[in-house]
A and B are shown apart, each in its own frame.
Chain A
Amino acid sequence: EDQVTQSPEALRLQEGESSSLNCSYTVSGLRGLFWYRQDPGKGPEFLFTLYSAGEEKEKERLKATLTKKESFLHITAPKPEDSATYLCAVQAFGGTASKLTFGTGTRLQVTL
């Protein structure tokens, strides 16, 4: 069974204080690893897809990296508007399903 574990559960940063969020996963065959951002009361917003170990993707202050066992979401010089819950999900090869298996997320709060 595919599993995703995210840490920490919650993270409080001051504006400009860089940090990383971790996503550890076990999957039979990784088709893709996804990062989403979710604001309270809203649907998950797609950020990145990573497909193979060593791959990196960047968007503004966010950079996602992937190894064979985990992914990191690096946040550089965060701003208060980066406050949200960040969700990691995996999609496995095989069968006819394209379901995502999600972790429980990291709640990020960025203060002035």
Chain B
Amino acid sequence: DSGVTQTPKHLITATGQRVTLRCSPRSGDLSVYWYQQSLDQGLQFLIQYYNGEERAKGNILERFSAQQFPDLHSELNLSSLELGDSALYFCASSAAGTSPVQYFGAGTRLSVL
């Protein structure tokens, strides 16, 4: 168990809908990362938050947004969903300081029908 908790495990929805994915980082970790894993592209970095502030953005679509709350949990919001958004979404967390190891949650499998 990595200590990173993601909910829900599975999400099935329709095109055009909006969903929210939730992540609780490991105790004490200030950084949260979101990654998307699809069959043809592997793990792709979406966005990073550090202690409530956005730190870096990857190839995240404008339809997607995220935030990190004062208790350090994070949410990834996906709107106007398309069939191509179907993928596994992973959250990872890391501690501050010199050890940059990211620990991953079990993921949320999103199916857009």
Q: Is the CB of B56 within 8 A of A49?
A: no
Q: Is the CB of A44 within 8 A of B94?
A: no
Q: How far is the CA of A91 from the CA of B45 in the complex (A)?
A: 12
Q: Is the CB of A99 within 8 A of B45?
A: yes
Contact residues on A (Cβ < 8 Å of other chain), bracket: 20 to 34
**A7, CB-defined interface residue at 8 Å:** no
Q: Interface readout for B1-22 with A: 1 if CB under 8 Å, 0 if not? A: 0101010000000000000000
**B101, CB-defined interface residue at 8 Å:** yes
Which candidate, A52-60, A61-69, A73-81, A101-109, is the interface stretch facing chain B?
Answer: A101-109
Q: A32-B100, A43-B106, A46-B101 are in contact. Are A99 and B94 (CB under 8 A)?
A: no
**B86, CB-defined interface residue at 8 Å:** no
Contact residues on B (Cβ < 8 Å of other chain), bracket: 20 to 34
Q: Is the CB of A46 within 8 A of B48?
A: no
Q: Which of A45, A46, A87, A95 meets B56, CB within 8 Å?
A: A95
Q: Is the CB of A31 within 8 A of B100?
A: yes
Q: Inside 8 A of B43's CB, which chain A residues have their CB?
A: 44, 87, 89, 100, 102
Residues of A in contact with B (beta carbons under 8 Å apart): 31-32, 34, 36, 41-46, 49, 87, 89, 91, 95-105
Q: Can you list 23 pairs linking A and B with CB atoms under 8 Å apart?
A: A34-B101, A34-B102, A43-B2, A43-B4, A43-B6, A43-B90, A43-B104, A43-B106, A43-B107, A44-B104, A46-B103, A46-B104, A49-B100, A97-B48, A97-B56, A98-B31, A98-B33, A99-B48, A100-B45, A101-B45, A102-B42, A103-B42, A105-B42
Q: 6 shortest A-B CB distances, which residue pairs?
A: A97-B56, A43-B104, A102-B43, A104-B42, A99-B45, A44-B104
